[in-house]
Amino acid sequence: MFQVVADGLIIGSVISLGAIGLSLTMAIVRFSNFSHGELLAWGAYLALIVSSLMPSTATPIGPFSFGWGLMVSMFASAAGTALLALLLDTILFRRLRKQGSITLVIASFGAALMLRNVLLFWQGGVPQYYSQNLQIAMPVLPRSFHGGLRFTPDQLLVLVLTMALVTGLHLFLRYSVLGRSMRATALNPALARVTGIDPERVLRASWMMGGALAAVAGVFAGITVQLRPTMGVDLLLPLFAAVILGGIGSIWGAVLGGLLVGLAESASVTLAGAEYREAAAFAVLIVILMVRPNGLFGEKA
């Protein structure tokens, strides 16, 4: 049982980071961005490309499966993906903003298909990995105790880094001027404007933050599972479920939602088999829509 929870937390970490960015754009830019999953995929692959340019840094650090090269690449990828998100807005979403949220959703669907297929075309369909080094799971609790609990070092790192990132993000949104401006814009765009908050600046910031977080999530997914060109679309439903569960615009909601969806997926693997993972996210979505469509911490109806 503990293992199910632990695995759920790992899956959930990836989903949480992606969901935060998605929740921000849904609250500030005000549409459901179906290309957000592709930002995770591109983030993961960009890190792969960059790290392959520095083969000497691939030597694993300590017990982890990857070397410094990957960590550096992750930062580079975060920057690159942030720019990619901004680029998407500039050439596509910005022009369609006047046409309403549904047009933006349609456009994002189209952008997602293009991004995914460019990736497929470029990288091929075979799964890839950051490192060929195998990881040995470290037992934390023995198997005799309710099935035991084991973590690989990579998984622990992902968990710790996710918590650190989320905490940092919370502090940023709570105390920095830009962060508070973003929250204000999500709450009440017109009032934010007359208060002196530049809506374009907030928009750019939310795209870039969303892109950067997605890239990190993608790298984490690549570390803990694998890289596939379809990894973006495979995560899309869990991402949306997490955002809606947590409530649009709420960072902690997205985090909690992500963890809960991760747990649901992990539980479904145990109960119904690994093939039904994606159906678990759908089940979570249906339940929250039936019970509490605003989500747990929804800031805006």
Partner 1 sequence: MVDALVIEALEAGYEPGLPIVRGASLNVQAGEIVAVIGPNGAGKSSLVKAVAGLVPVSAGRNLLFGKDITRTPAHRMVFEGLAFVPQTENVFVNLSVAENLELAAAVVKGDAQPVYEVFPDLYRQRRDLAGRLSGGQRQMLAVARGLIARPRVLILDEPSAGLSPKMAVQVFAKLREVRDSGVTVLLVEQNVKAALALADRAAVLVEGKERIVARCADLLNDDRVAELYLGRRT
Partner 2 sequence: MPVLSYASFFLVFASIYAIITLGLNLQWGFTGLFNVGVSGFVAIGAYTSALLTARHGWPVAGGLAAAALLSGLAGLFVGTLVLRLRRDYLAITTFGVAVTIQVVANNATRLTGGPFGVQFIPKPMEAWLGTGLRWNLAYLALVLVLLGVIYLALEKLVNSPWGRVLRAIREDEETALSVGKRVFLFRLQSFVMGSMLMGLGGALYAHFLGFIAPDDFLPILTFQMWAMLIVGGAGSNLGALMGAFLVWGFWTVSGGLLRGWIPQADQARAAALQVVLIGLLISGMLVARPRGLFKSKG
CA dihedral 119, 226, 235, 67 (to 10 degrees): -90
Rounded to a whole number of angstroms, the minimum distance from the CB of residue 20 to partner 1 is 18
**Piece in contact with partner 2 (CB under 8 A), picked from 75-83, 106-114, 163-171, 180-188:** 106-114
Distances (CA, A) of 181 to 16, 23, 171, 189, 197: 22, 16, 13, 10, 6
Rounded to a whole number of angstroms, the minimum distance from the CB of residue 186 to partner 1 is 10
Give the count of alpha carbons within 13 A of 135, CB side only: 24
Is 296 an interacting residue with respect to partner 1 (CB under 8 A)? no
Q: Which residue has the tokens 């195998």?
A: 134
As a whole number of angstroms, the distance between CA 215 and CA 91 comes to 20
Please pick, from the candidates 94, 97, 170, 180, the single residue that binds partner 1 as defined by CB under 8 A.
180
| Residue 282 binds: one of partner 1, partner 2, none (C-beta under 5 to 8 A by kind) | partner 2
Tokens, residue 255: 């985090």
x/- track of binding to partner 1 for residues 194-233 (CB under 8 A) = xxxxxx----------------------------------
Ramachandran class of 225: left when φ > 0, alpha when ψ lies in -120 to 50, beta otherwise? alpha
Is 171 an interacting residue with respect to partner 1 (CB under 8 A)? no
Classify the C-alpha dihedral 114-208-65-261 as positive or negative: negative
Rounded to a whole number of angstroms, the minimum distance from the CB of residue 298 to partner 1 is 11
Which CB atom, from 147 or from 199, has the smaller least distance to partner 1?
199
Is 275 an interacting residue with respect to partner 2 (CB under 8 A)? yes
| Residue 190 binds: one of partner 2, partner 1, none (C-beta under 5 to 8 A by kind) | partner 1
Which CB atom, from 141 or from 279, has the smaller least distance to partner 2?
279
149-151/138-141 β-pairing = antiparallel
Is 125 an interacting residue with respect to partner 2 (CB under 8 A)? yes
Is 99 an interacting residue with respect to partner 1 (CB under 8 A)? no
As a whole number of angstroms, the distance between CA 293 and CA 301 comes to 9
Rounded to a whole number of angstroms, the minimum distance from the CB of residue 176 to partner 1 is 9
As a whole number of angstroms, the distance between CA 11 and CA 18 comes to 11
Contact 257, 218 (CB under 8 A): no
Size of the site for partner 1 (CB under 8 A): 18
Provide the 3-class DSSP secondary structure of residue 227. Answer: strand
Please pick, from the candidates 126, 134, 136, 177, the single residue that binds partner 1 as defined by CB under 8 A.
177
**Piece in contact with partner 1 (CB under 8 A), picked from 26-34, 162-170, 190-198, 264-272:** 190-198
Site for partner 2 in 222-251 (CB under 8 A): 233, 236-237, 240-241, 244
**Piece in contact with partner 1 (CB under 8 A), picked from 91-99, 106-114, 143-151, 192-200:** 192-200
Per-position b or e across 270-296, b if 16+ CB within 10 A of its CB: eeeeeeebeebbebbbeebeeeeeebb
Q: What residues make contact with partner 1 under the rule CB under 8 A?
A: 177, 180-181, 183-184, 187-188, 190-199, 299
